[in-house]
Amino acid sequence: MKRYLIFLIVCSPAFLYSQECCLKNAHSHNDYKHRQPLSDALSFKFKSIEADVFLVNGHVLVSHIYPIFKRKKLEELYLKPLLDSCKKHNGKVYADCKESLILLIDIKSDAEKTYTELKKIFGKYRSILSTYENGIMIERGVTIILSGNKPFEQLQRDSTRYAFIDQNLLSIQQEKNNSIYLMASTKYSNIIRWKGAGELPIVEKEKLNILVNSAHRQGKTVRLWASPENKKVWQELLDCGVDLINTDDLQTLSDFLIKKK
């Protein structure tokens, strides 16, 4: 009697999903604080990654507070590795995902001066950056969105730009220049006080739905920052159409989103 040896490869849900696409609802808040900035978020295949920056002596540095001792450059920490990844994957950050990765840059220093330096940096990476030129947006491997201190007037003057702006979600119905905005965000507590106990109050849910629907009609991605790290909250946000879930806990959010698939 012949005997056959059968090898079974058991894959975890995370592995199976990672082979499919990126986690389109996942946003890595304050990404630079993780043990391995950028690399950790990419390993979980997050759709969106956030970095706070300061302009210090002509250098754009990544930090949550004004950097005195640690001086990590935005270019070295994020743009160069993303360029390398795009070169490996035919212009995209992830080999098996055609979507553009969002790099949200939160400007903590002077908006105009910081953006002036950022423009010089962006120009060196234009081959992988989504661009707006002559009224047309061309999506590439990385889409940069500026938040915090926002250089509105400078971007509006640029005939060609490699960055867009994160709009205030609360003013979604008042803003007119939509070409400059790709995302609309606000602090979670500006809309919702609910922390996940009991049910989400109907009034708060309706307010969120109105804002999300308005943003989506304009083609904008919606994000609420400083939301509770709570699975019940995450589920309600997704049910209301919020596109990006803000988290500092990459593993837990990754597991949560994968289980929903």
- Are 215 and 172 spatial neighbours (Cβ–Cβ below 8 Å)? yes
**CA dist., res. 94 & res. 108, Å (int):** 29
Q: Which of 220, 259, 227 is nearest to 243 (CA)?
A: 220
| Cα of 116 vs its chain's centroid, Å | 22
- Are 247 and 229 spatial neighbours (Cβ–Cβ below 8 Å)? yes
**CA dist., res. 11 & res. 27, Å (int):** 25
Residue 47, burial from CB neighbour count under 10 angstroms (0-12, 13-18, 19+): buried
The pLDDT, as a whole number, for residue 177 is 66
Give the phi and the psi of residue 15 in degrees, each rounded to 5: -65, -45
Which tokens hold the place of 78?
A: 């994020």
Would you write out the chain's pLDDT as a tens digit for each of its 261 residues?
444 333 333 333 333 333 447 999 999 999 988 989 999 999 999 999 999 999 999 999 998 776 666 679 999 999 999 999 999 999 999 998 889 999 999 999 999 999 999 999 999 999 999 999 988 999 999 999 999 999 999 999 998 999 999 999 999 988 666 789 999 999 999 999 999 999 999 999 999 999 999 999 999 999 999 999 999 999 999 999 999 999 999 999 999 999 987
Instruction: Return the H-helix or E-strand segment holding 42.
Output: helix 39-43
- Are 168 and 136 spatial neighbours (Cβ–Cβ below 8 Å)? no
CATH 3.20.20.190 fits 17-259, yes or no: yes
Question: What mean pLDDT value characterizes the chain?
Answer: 90
pTM of the predicted model, to two decimals? Answer: 0.90
The pLDDT, as a whole number, for residue 190 is 98
SS3 assignment, position 1 = coil
Q: Which of 83, 246, 237 is nearest to 166 (CA)?
A: 246
Q: Which of 35, 41, 44 is nearest to 13 (CA)?
A: 44
**CA dist., res. 120 & res. 137, Å (int):** 20
In one-letter notation, the amino acid at residue 111 is: A
> What does the domain layout of the chain look like in residue ranges?
17-259
SS3 assignment, position 241 = coil
Helices 231-239/250-259 angle, 10° precision: 50
